[in-house]
Amino acid sequence: MKHLFVIAIVCSCVIEVRSVLCWRCSGKTCQRIVRFCPSDNTCQTTSITRSTGEINTTLIEQDCPQITQEVSFTSRLAFGSKSVKSCTGNQCNDETVADPSNRTENGLECYGCFASTSESCTKSEEKVKCVGQEDRCFYGSGTQSLASFGSSFFIKGCVTKNVCNGSANLNEFLVSLDAQTSCCQGNLCNVGSAGPLLCNRCSGKTCTPIPVLCPSSSRSCETVSLTQFIGNVTLRFTKETFNIVWTL
Ligand SMILES: *[C@@H]1O[C@H](CO)[C@@H](O)[C@H](O)[C@H]1NC(C)=O
Ligand SMILES: *[C@@H]1O[C@H](CO)[C@@H](O)[C@H](O)[C@H]1NC(C)=O
Ligand SMILES: *[C@@H]1O[C@H](CO)[C@@H](O)[C@H](O)[C@H]1NC(C)=O
Ligand SMILES: *[C@@H]1O[C@H](CO)[C@@H](O)[C@H](O)[C@H]1NC(C)=O
């Protein structure tokens, strides 16, 4: 009898801490349903804006807490942003429209273009003002269905740094960047798109980089970590072009 009583108390505590009811929906407007979340006491609202300049689309997603990062980019006409908000308590995520994207300029400027070829991108480029948390300039290519000019694309603009190290992507804005996306730090640092490539070279447990000129066939620098045979040796290379430090 004593045992049963103890178990009953333990269970009710666990349920109280570990569960919450959250609104769940996804889309341009929100047809909400209530969902039981086996998580802590928090619910989540994600707001996504994607724009081609002519058409702005906003989406709202409400759910149990999901692991996701805020991300934002701005190109010449196109931009996209995703913001994430958590709240505490049953059905606390009760908004029915997405939060507007943060278009407050943050002082950084980058070259911006978004076009089907590298040449047409460079020709049409203009300075763009970075907004919100966008703290890097970038240059990239890949496939897209955000704008109507075809699948392949080249892009320059502002981006949040989590896209630069591959921990976030632009897929929610219908933009899929290939692996050679380059980022740099500083006003208008994403000048040009080709040229002799300088990489930083270093080797060891800690890293004192020395710039080296790469063969013309190289398009990217690499960071390599080796942990075989000779202990923990780290080779680190950081991308550099036109005397600009490109950070991966
Ligand atoms: C799209 O959003 C941008 C930034 O908020 C704004 O400048 C632009 O006028 C909007 N376009 C339309 C068609 O609403
Ligand atoms: C929007 O971006 C600006 C510039 O980075 C920043 O100062 C501000 O705190 C942001 N606002 C919100 C609501 O995140
Ligand atoms: C990438 O950068 C973001 C933002 O600084 C950071 O939170 C994340 O841990 C980094 N991820 C990797 C894999 O380096
Ligand atoms: C070597 O790397 C392993 C795995 O990352 C780590 O656990 C270990 O502490 C490292 N050893 C030294 C000497 O740094």
Residue of the CA atom closest to atom 4 of ligand 3: 162
Q: How far is the CA of 119 from the centre of ligand 3 (A)?
A: 31
Give the dihedral sign, CA 140/141/147/148: positive
Calculate how far, in angstroms, residue 21's C-alpha sits from the geometric centre of ligand 3. Answer: 31
How many angstroms separate the alpha carbon of residue 165 from the centre of ligand 3? Answer: 6
DSSP letter assigned to residue 176: E
Burial bucket for residue 185 (CB in 10 Å: 0-12, 13-18, 19+): middle
Tokens of 81: 């942003």
Instruction: Give the number of other CB atoms < 10 A from CB of residue 176.
Output: 15
What pairs with residue 202 in β-bridges?
236
Mean pLDDT score of the chain, rounded to an integer? 79
- Tell me the sheet residues that pair with 86: 44
157 CB within 6 A, ligand 2: no
Chain center to CA of 186: 18
Residue 140 carries which DSSP code?
E
Percent of the chain with pLDDT over 70: 73
Residue nearest to atom 13 of ligand 2 (CA): 102
CB 110 within 8 A of CB 83: no
* CA–CA gap between residue 179 and residue 202 (Å, rounded): 22
Ligand 1 centroid – CA 128 distance (Å) = 15
Nearest to 23 by CA among 125, 71, 92, 88: 92
Checking if the pLDDT of 231 tops 70, the result is no
Decide whether any atom of ligand 4 lies within 6 Å of the 227 Cβ: yes
Is-above-0.85 flag for pTM? no
pLDDT of residue 222: 65
CA distance 26 to 170: 18
The percentage of residues in the chain with a pLDDT greater than 90, rounded to a whole number, is: 46
Task: Give 190-220 pLDDT, tens digit per residue.
Answer: 887 544 456 677 776 666 777 666 554 445 5
**What is the tens place of the pLDDT at every residue in 61-74?**
999 999 899 999 99
Q: Which domains does the chain have, with CATH numbers?
A: 21-184 (2.10.60.10), 198-242 (no CATH)
Q: Is 65 in the pocket of ligand 2 (CB under 6 A)?
A: no
Cβ contact 64:81 at 8 Å: no
Encoding tokens for residue 48? 């996504």
- List the one residue out of 153, 164, 157, 104 whose CA is nearest residue 127: 157
pLDDT band at 49 (very low <50, low <70, confident <90, very high): very high
| Cα of 193 from ligand 2 centre, angstroms | 30
Ligand 1 binding residues, C-beta < 6 A:
51, 54, 56, 103
pLDDT reading at 6 higher than 70 = no
CA of 247 relative to ligand 3 center, distance in Å:
12
- Residues near ligand 3 with C-beta < 6 Å? 161-162, 165, 167
Element (H, E) at 27: strand 20-27
Q: Among 102, 105, 135, which is best to mutate for testing ligand 2, by the most ligand atoms less than 8 A from CB?
A: 102
Cα separation of 20 and 187, whole Å? 45
Instruction: Classify residue 75 as left (phi > 0), alpha (psi -120 to 50) or beta.
Output: beta
pLDDT at res. 54: 86
β pairing state of 197-204 and 105-115: unpaired
Residue 4 CB contacts under 8 Å (≥ 6 apart), including other chains: none
Structure-model confidence comparison of residues 175 and 186, the more confident one: 175
Q: How far is CA 101 from the centre of its chain?
A: 14
Q: What is the largest CA-CA distance in the chain?
A: 81
